Amino acid sequence: MELYNYIKALHLIFVVTWFAGLFYMVRLFVYHAEAKTKPEPEQSILIKQYQLMQYRLWYIITWPSAVLASFFAFWMLFFTEVGQVWLQQPWMHVKLLFVFLLYLYHLKCHQIFKQLQKNEVKNSSGFFRLWNEGATIILFAVVFLVILKNAVNWIFGVIGIILFSVLLMLGYKFYKKIREKNNS
């Protein structure tokens, strides 16, 4: 049981650093998109710096954290008695669905990262601000599933997450109006 607790602690540490990397990476996407609208030489200086920051964050923190979080999760699920029990629980199936969605989100961030490394900005800073909420929604879903361990009421949880998402989007639109008003 003590080994299990060490594995669990390592899993949680790398989940935290993975999410931190995703949150900050998308924030750097916002800054990169905004830098693209700046005049030269400011634009070139900022973009070069953001590309370096993105590169380091992505390959030194975010990807390694994703791999290590998954490694320790796999170890817990398939090589411990507790994990064997959890794999039979409906809440774990729903959680693993959200983890799959997190990997899709991560891979899409990787695609955006590669574009920005070539300075191909295909989305606005507003898009990236909303995109950042994807990881937030997944985080909320996973934490509630793990803590409550209840997939029977997962429909209520999904409805709650959707309502939370709507509130986030409304908050963003309100924030955007305030920013536009202050900039004019």
Residues annotated within the binding site for heme are 11, 95
Respond yes or no on whether the N-terminal peptide bond of residue 39 is cis (omega within 30° of 0): no
The pair of three-digit structure tokens given for residue 25, joined into one six-digit string: 């990476």
Binding residues: 11, 95
